[in-house]
Amino acid sequence: MALADVPSQSTPTEATESSSVNPIAPSSIEIHVDSQWPSLAKDDEHPPQARLTTRRSPQSRGPRTTRKINAQATRLEAVDDSLDPLGPLGDKSFSIPPNPDQGPTPPRKEPFSGRNVRPTSSRSQSSTGGLMDSVDLNDEEQVARSRMKEPPPVQSPVDAPKRQTQPSMPIEQAAKPSFEITVGDPHKVGDITSSHIVYQVRTKTTSKAYRQPEFTVSRRYRDFLWLYNSLHGNNPGVVVPPPPEKQAVGRFDTNFVESRRAALERMLNKVAAHHILQHDGDLKIFLESDTFNLDVKNKENREPDIGQSKGMFSSLGISVGGPGKFIEHDDWFHERKIYLDALENQLKGLMKAIDTVVAQRKGLAEAANDFSASLHSLATVELSPALSGPLEGLSDLQLRIKELYERQAQQDILTLGITVDEYIRIIGSVKAAFSQRQKSFHTWHAAESELQKRKNAQDKLLRQGKSQQDRLNQAAADVADAERKVHQSRLLFEDMGRVMRNELEKFEKEKVEDFKSGVETFLESAVEAQKELIELWETFLLQLDADDDADAYFTPVPTNLESRPGTSDGGQEVQPTATEQES
């Protein structure tokens, strides 16, 4: 564009009139913009109200005047869009149906730009038609429709594949997982100097704290003892089910190994069923670890946490040796302690009686064995089969009775004896919890004594009045630390008392259930043993009667020997009796 084509300056009246839009002609819109050409006038005589846009030119060129520019008008045509919510609005010839399979169409570059095109006033009317022909609104509609993302198709529930998910677990089951522990396969390992029994511990659990729902590990007796001591130290006030007592003589005997296996299994199941002990980390190590000895060694080498390994009392930094005799001030605990002492004596007497019964059954089994050996010896020297046969049968019967007595003696131990022995050991664990409570009481009073000493030292410094401020600050810090320890030890003592109350109530309920179950099993075993014994005697008597009814001392003769002397009228040969043969 040449400078001659630039129109002259317009007056404010022309700028105002030209900036208005004619409402009658909706197809033409006049837009006035500032010219980017340098101003030809020296002074800007037009006020700001007459301008649409005013730009400030650099100082070197002077102020810029407002120029009247007639922009090309644009005619808007309605386009029929079936997808538009307003329905068809114009000529259908301009509508382009969207193709869902075709990708979005890139927009076309428009030839008109308000900044680049500078038409003159002489060509404003002629260029309007050309501009309208160059602008295609269908492109904008098509681009807008192509950018609209259609929602994905909804898959029918029949064709949709079912997602494989694990069944949800109830809240109660997740909060209190179940454990099923069996101790079996006891076998002897090691040489003569280091021989011991190893057990296979199989666990099935619903707890998510374990890597697998089922696992098996090998443990020996000292591992069970470590678990008991760890649980007892980690959970003060909790009655931990103890393992069976250690026995040096006869520890490889079959009956002893079986009774110990059953006692260890009952211990683990009770520990796993306890709502506090089942979440202990040492139980997880015992049941799951394949490198048990290494894990225990690493755990002992690590710095113990509060309440772990070294107990709760060591965390307070106070010696709990028990300087004096403990006097129980709570009547409830005092009565329970007296009751437990009496119950322990009664259970020990009952256990002694059960041991006597078991020993007598074993003695009866040995007597039956001796009786069977004597009958067998007599049957071998007896020449008469009429007497040697019943004697041999009675000898075999006594052997079976001997096995029955031995089995019944073992059942007495596994049913009632193991329950009595277990509760004697549980009472020992309860007494250990009482001892922990006494230590907690001494810790509390030791902390109070230490607090009183530090308060006296602080008061002494305050009375002197010439002490340094740092010593006063240190004394105040010591008093605050002593008060904290007193508060912690008092809370520990009170919390241990609440835990022990719950544990003793649980002990009473479980004691009734376990003894009821043990006595019922003991009686059922005794009844079954007596029924089996009666059946053995009845079978022996029926066998003797069958031998008598069969008349085993006569043999049949052929029927064609009727003329043979010594036959009866029916053709049967009469055999001589045993007395006649001897004569």
pLDDT in tens, 383-441: 788 888 888 899 999 999 999 999 999 999 888 999 999 999 999 999 999 999 989 98
Terminal Cα-to-Cα distance of the chain (whole angstroms)? 166
Which of 25-29, 61-65, 80-84, 422-426 is modeled with the greatest confidence?
422-426
pLDDT at site 192? 78
Longest CA–CA separation in the chain, Å? 177
Token pair of 38, please?
């340098």
Closest to 407 measured CA to CA, from 249, 263, 261, 533:
533
pLDDT at position 560? 47
According to the 3-state scheme, what is the secondary structure of 425-478?
HHHHHHHHHHHHHHHHHHHHHHHHHHHHHHHHHHHHHHHHCCCCHHHHHHHHHH
pLDDT value at position 246?
83
Distance from C-alpha of 483 to C-alpha of 489, rounded to nearest angstrom: 10
Higher pLDDT, 93 or 378: 378
Residue 60 in this model has a pLDDT that exceeds 70: no
Each as own residue / partner, the long-range contacts of residues 106-113 (CB below 8 Å, 24 or more positions apart, any chain) are: 106/143, 107/139, 107/140, 107/143, 108/136, 108/139, 110/134, 110/135, 112/72
Residues 6+ apart with CB under 8 A from 201: 181, 182, 183, 216, 217, 218, 219, 268, 287
Give residue 389's pLDDT: 85
Please say if the pLDDT value at position 71 is more than 60. no
The CATH number of 174-309 is: 3.30.1520.10
Give the contacts of 357 (CB within 8 A, at least 6 positions apart).
409, 412
> Domain ranges in the chain?
174-309
**What distances in angstroms separate CA 359 from CA 144, 356, 458, one per listed residue?**
100, 5, 70
Model confidence at 245, pLDDT cuts 50, 70, 90, reads confident
CA–CA gap between residue 223 and residue 4 (Å, rounded): 109
Question: Is residue 222 very low, low, confident or very high in pLDDT (cuts 50, 70, 90)?
Answer: very high
- Contact indicator for 411, 443 with CB cutoff of 8 Å: no
